[in-house]
Amino acid sequence: MSRGRAPAALHTARRAVGQMLDPDGLNLVTCSGGADSLALAVAASWHHHRTSGTHAGTQVGAVVVDHHLHPDSVEISGRAVSQLKELGLDPVRILSADVDPDSPLGPEAAARTGRYQAFRTAMADLGATRVLLAHTRDDQAEQVLLGLARGSGTRSLAGIPAARGPYRRPLLQLTRQDTEAICRHAGLTWWEDPANADPRYLRSRVRTQILPYLEEHLSPGIRHALARTAEIAADDAAYLETQAKELFPHLLEDPDPAGALRLKLRPLRAEPPAIRLRIIALAVAAAGGANPSHERLMAAEKLLTGSRSAGPVQMEGGVRLYRGARGTSEYGKLVVVPPSADH
């Protein structure tokens, strides 16, 4: 039940959610039972009720993912489902996330992998077209700071994307204080995950120790500044990636029968490094590899611009790069060999 005058953050959330909903399909709010995701559900439910029953109604359901990492996870998930149903969202489902405790990626990455697999399952089972995630400006600030600590490039500094594939994040302009205010107004009780304050996890240390220290000793507006950095970097990265995608097919020759790709070296070398590296990353992905790390891209850059060695350079996903040898049909080409090819 709503209590008093609606906070300004609720109007902001409703407007942002409305811009990201698919009016013709089923939209799923992902909910953990925390304040951020419940606030997202409140904003989305307004659109669900506002157009419900009309021919072009906006349908909003929800999915609660239980990681089974907390002894009370069943009770927590059930409480979230009850509140989502009280908001009128339909359908509402609980799914389990498979989390590998021994994953070499670490517990946070393993939980994320299991969570997104559950999202994909929910989309397939329910025929959903869009998934709404409740990341806030605080999450964005943490992500940018982590990117800086890793020495990552523009794409990493761009932080959490507002839209990628079927996923939408409409709350990136709101803070955690905003989402808690929305929940209080709606009369909802949220759950505080103790892992969010556990210093064993890197993101938790950033949230509870590092960012508060920076706010006190560097700038009280550091979270907003980091989120603004993400917006600027995202625009820059999007432009560079668009340029690389436009150039990529012009540098690409027909693949050989084994599936290897060949890029023309001279025009590739003529491009600025920011474009060159993105084209290499596109070629690795086209050959069936994973997104290359900065270290692997730097190794490929040396191969292009002056290394005496012609390679090969190993990339993520088993892809190999080498420079074509003089006197062969591959001379003047950067050859990108897929994992299954025998070169």
What single DSSP character describes residue 325? P
Mean residue pLDDT of the chain comes to 88
Neighbours of 93 (CB within 10 A): 17
List the domains of the chain with CATH numbers: 8-228 (3.40.50.620), 254-337 (3.30.465)
- Mean pLDDT for 300-321 is 84
DSSP one-letter string for 247-277: HHHHHEEPPPTT--EEEEHHHHHHS-HHHHH
Q: Which two tokens stand for residue 43?
A: 């904003």
Q: What is the pLDDT of residues 9-55, one digit of tens each?
A: 999 999 999 999 999 999 999 999 999 999 999 999 999 887 544 44
- Mean pLDDT for 218-238 is 93
Least confident segment among 144-158, 161-175, 211-225: 144-158
pLDDT above 70 (res 335): yes
Please tell me the pTM assigned to this model.
0.83
- Mean pLDDT for 274-282 is 93
Q: What is the pLDDT of residues 48-97, one digit of tens each?
A: 887 544 445 589 999 999 887 778 878 889 999 999 999 999 999 999 88
pLDDT above 50 (res 258): yes
pLDDT at 141: 95
Closest of 155, 144, 153 to residue 238, by C-alpha: 155
pLDDT above 90 (res 293): no
Amino acid (1-letter code) at residue 193: D
Q: Is residue 257 very low, low, confident or very high in pLDDT (cuts 50, 70, 90)?
A: low
- Mean pLDDT for 285-293 is 87
